[in-house]
Structure 1
Amino acid sequence: MKRLIKDIIWAWRFKRAVRKAKKLSKLFGLKYYVISMNGSIKVVPKKNICELVRSHRFRKGVTVADIEKLALFVTR
């Protein structure tokens, strides 16, 4: 029963994040990713991901394409 409730909450948060990503993408014309970070779902623009990769915030060898493959949802 606990697992079911957790899954329902996660699905609700995911749907909400997807709606937010689509809305922001349409508004600003950027590509947005819905990714899972530290157990929570985040909506992040591709521009910020590129800056973080350039500033070596991720492990050595991680590229934007790797992050895009692991993203739960990608706009456009």
Structure 2
Amino acid sequence: MTNEELREIARLGGKEGGREGAREVLRALGVDIEHPLEAQKDMHFLRDFRKGTYSVKVKFINTTIGAFALAGLYKLFSGVMWEP
């Protein structure tokens, strides 16, 4: 066997070993490797869910800060007598 043939055998063996290792990792993570399109849909759903919850969190924080600011302004101006 020549060095080129040995390299090709080693390359193919490493490639197959990498594939099998990736499959085992994905199975351990609960990814259905038999249906890759379904797995992609699941990942898209999770990304959309994460972005949606972040958006809700930001809106909640902004609303809370606005309410406290409004309450503070009310408290500040409620003591001022407004005369026409």
Does TM-score exceed 0.5, indicating one fold?
A: no
Q: Which structure has the highest helix share of the two?
A: 2
Q: Relative contact order (alpha carbons < 8 A, sep ≥ 6): 1 or 2 greater?
A: 1
Q: Which structure has the highest strand share of the two?
A: 1
Bigger Rg, structure 1 or 2: 2
TM-score interval, normalised by the smaller of the two chains: 0.3 to 0.5
